[in-house]
Amino acid sequence: MWRGRTGLWGWGLYCVAVAWIVIIAGCVSEALDTREGRQTLAEGRFAPRKLLQTDADWDMWAAALLNDTDDFFAALEDGADVNVSLGFEGACPCTALILSSDAGNLQIVQALISADADLDAATAKGAATAIFAASQKGRSAIVDVLIAAGADVEKARSTGATPLMVAAENAHAGVVGALLRGGADAGAADGVGQTALHLASMKIGEASREIAEALIDAGANIEARDADMWTPLIWAAHFGNVGTFSVLLERGADPAVKDASGGGLEDHICQCPLVPETATGLVCPEGGCDSGAADAIAEMLRS
Ligand SMILES: *[C@@H]1O[C@H](CO)[C@@H](O)[C@H](O)[C@H]1NC(C)=O
Ligand SMILES: *[C@@H]1O[C@H](CO)[C@@H](O)[C@H](O)[C@H]1NC(C)=O
């Protein structure tokens, strides 16, 4: 009898608590969607922090989210846990170090490192670390301090993408240099077999030329094959990337290369769709096939 009543009480309280958490989580995820909402969140008008974290933890995380250096230091002084991982939708849950590396706030990043924050903590979704976030945004000063502090330069996302790959993909030559000096593996491949050199071959511009040179100097396999057996040279031809194409050719890439269905380079030159509306594959990047790249590449192959 007594036990039964307690059980019922227990369940009742449990249900109320669960309903409360669901309501609060709903409000907070809505709040995070707008700048105004974030401000409200930071001002503490929603109070989920009372349930799980201390006020200081929540304030520190919200300050990192809002890139507010003064609030961050105030919360740190109040004894916030530098390893706390919070968030509701989007990229987070994640730590303050990931948020401030993404935002490019060197002062916060350095303070977190000094306070012994976990350098290799990753986002709950996608498993991106602080150095991955900084590499993606081209924040080379932050990449430098994270490497100096001992962050893992190789830790990949759940897709297999490493910080080096995301830096190459976004044409951040400075970050690629920092990562290579920090010992990043130039030849690492992601889940579909693509290396940083493949990604540099897809992106048009002087930075990508430079990145391709740096990767090859650091020992990247110039004939690396992805899941479709495409080499970086095939990708450069496909996307009309004259700059990287010429680097690869000069550095000894095989012009007689064949893809998985036996197609050669001549079958790939500017085969990307120019018009997004008709696209079945990745659309041609600007400054390539729309600017005479097909002829330039065919000419390079003839000579
Ligand atoms: C974050 O704050 C730092 C320091 O004030 C600033 O340099 C950086 O540009 C800010 N980042 C964003 C995304 O606004
Ligand atoms: C944060 O996490 C790291 C890695 O797990 C640990 O070494 C460090 O002691 C933690 N820092 C604090 C202040 O709890």
Residues 55-87: tens digit of each pLDDT: 899 899 999 999 999 999 999 999 999 999 998
Q: What angle do CA 42, 44, 49 make, to 5 degrees?
A: 105
**What local confidence, expressed as pLDDT, does residue 292 receive?**
94
The predicted model scores a pTM of 0.84
CB 83 near ligand 2, within 6 Å: yes
* Cis ω before 48 (30° cut-off from 0): no
Q: How far is the CA of 139 from the centre of ligand 2 (A)?
A: 24
Confirm whether 290 is domain-assigned.
yes
57 within domain boundaries: no
CA-closest residue to ligand 2 atom 14? 83
Model confidence band, residue 90 (pLDDT cutoffs 50, 70, 90)? low
- Ligand 1 site-directed mutation target among 35, 65, 67, most atoms within 8 Å of CB: 67
Q: Is residue 253 part of a domain?
A: yes
User: Which residue, judged by its Cα, is nearest atom 13 of ligand 2?
Assistant: 116
Which of 202 and 24 is assigned the larger pLDDT? 202
CB half-sphere exposure, 115, CA atoms < 13 A:
21
Is position 190 within any domain? yes
String of DSSP letters for 114-180: HTT--TT-B-TTTT-BHHHHHHHHT-HHHHHHHHHHT--TT---TTS--HHHHHHHTT-HHHHHHHH
Q: Is residue 71 part of a domain?
A: no
Give the number of the atom of ligand 1 that is nearest the alpha carbon of residue 107.
4
- The predicted structure's pLDDT at residue 253: 98
- Tell me the ligand closest to 57's alpha carbon: 2
- Residue scoring higher pLDDT (8 or 172): 172
Give the per-residue pLDDT at 218. 98
Predicted local distance difference test score (pLDDT) of residue 279: 62
Rg of the chain on CA atoms, in Å: 24
DSSP code string of 180-194: HHTT--TT-B-TTS-
| Position 207 pLDDT exceeds 60 | yes
- Is 174 within a domain? yes
Query: What is the model's pLDDT at position 22?
Result: 44
Distance 130 CA to ligand 2 centre (A): 15
In a domain, 35, yes or no: no
As for how many domains the chain has, the answer is 1
User: Is residue 267 included in any domain, yes or no?
Assistant: yes
Indicate if ligand 2 lies below 6 Å from the C-beta of 116.
yes
Q: What atom of ligand 1 comes closest to residue 105's alpha carbon?
A: 3
Quote the ligand 1 centre to 101 CA distance (angstroms).
Answer: 10
Indicate if the pLDDT at residue 88 is higher than 80: no
Whether 54 shows a pLDDT value over 90: the answer reads no
Share of the chain above pLDDT 90, in %: 74
- Per the model's pLDDT, the better-predicted residue between 14 and 152 turns out to be 152
State yes or no: pLDDT of 132 exceeds 90.
yes
pLDDT for 50? 44
Atom of ligand 2 nearest to the CA of 117: 1
Of all protein residues, the one whose alpha carbon is nearest to atom 12 of ligand 1 is 103
Q: What is the CATH number of the domain that holds 278?
A: 1.25.40.20
Q: Which domain holds residue 155?
A: 6-27+88-302
Q: What pLDDT, in 10s, does the model give residues 248-299?
A: 999 999 999 999 999 999 999 999 988 877 767 789 999 999 999 999 999 9
DSSP 8-state class, residue 94? E
What pLDDT sits at residue 260?
Answer: 93
Rounded Cα distance, 6 and 86, in Å: 34
Q: Whose alpha carbon is nearest atom 13 of ligand 1? A: 103
Mean confidence (pLDDT) of the chain: 86
